[in-house]
Amino acid sequence: MRVLAIDTSNLVLSVAVVEEARVLGEMMTNLQKNHSVRLMDSISGLMDELNLLPDELAGIAVAQGPGSYTGVRIGVATAKSMAWALGIPVVGVSSLQAVAMNAAGFSGGIVPMFDARRGQVYTGGYRTQEDGSVALALPERIVLLREWLDALSEEWGDSPMMFLGDDVAMHRDLIAQRMGRRAVFAPAAFNHPRAAHIGWLGIRRLAEAGSPHDMVPEYLQVAEAEAKWLAKQNG
């Protein structure tokens, strides 16, 4: 069974084709732009390399967010449309979990994060599982980084924690200052999401996939105009 995996939810663009037990091919670029222009050509190019036709795919896995709203939508719209056109299932995988997978095997807490502006981050807490994957231990959220670090201290005490993601660099000082020696910073390559991880996580959940029509992004927050409108209603 072959599954196409896609991640355009943040600055990195990554696509992969995986089977249950191996990666057939993967492409990752960190050009930080133009996902709309480059995604389909990247998929097409990878599948040409692998000598695969679209109808040889058994499913699609896509990074569902959080991340850049537009980036998430490009990936999700592409994945659900392709799945619908091919009559195959599509599953969504958390964009944070995809990054957390880079630290699978780490015995402490795994903390992927993306900057969400105004001192906030999209984040969650993951733990290594016996099957080699990582599972959510502290729910994903959008939160002020300062508050999040306090919460981590409370939840995970003296346990070491690995901070992952391209945006960790911009918050590194604050994290190091608050967490001290508990904070572990990953090597550069661990900060980028890999579509191969998304494919590997997705392929195991393919059987539970609903209709492609129901595949929608997980933004972790309502649109700003919506939030303002709601606040006004609650006056």
Note the residues at the interface with other proteins (CB under 8 A).
Answer: 34, 36-41, 43-44, 48, 51-55, 69-70, 73-74, 76-82, 84-86, 212-213, 216-217, 219, 223-226, 229
Q: Look up tokens 């939508």; give the residue.
A: 73
Tell how many helices (H) and how many strands (E) occur in the chain.
7, 10
Widest distance between CA atoms in the chain: 59
Provide, rounded to whole angstroms, the least separation between the CB of residue 143 and other proteins: 21
d(CA 197, CA 103): 11
Q: Give whichever of 146 and 213 is closer to other proteins, judged by the CB atom.
A: 213
Task: Give the residue with the Cβ less far from other proteins, 76 or 196.
Answer: 76
Q: Whose Cβ is closer to other proteins: residue 82's or residue 196's? A: 82
Name residues whose C-beta falls within 8 Å of residue 79's C-beta, 6 or more positions apart in sequence.
6, 60, 61, 62, 90, 215
What minimum distance in Å lies between the beta carbon of 52 and other proteins? Answer: 7
Please state the length of the chain.
235
Nearer Cβ to other proteins, position 55 or 158? 55
The least CB distance from residue 40 to other proteins, in Å, is 4
Structural contact between residues 104 and 134, judged by C-beta atoms closer than 8 angstroms: yes
Taking the complex as a whole, how short is the minimal distance between the CB of residue 101 and other proteins, in angstroms?
25
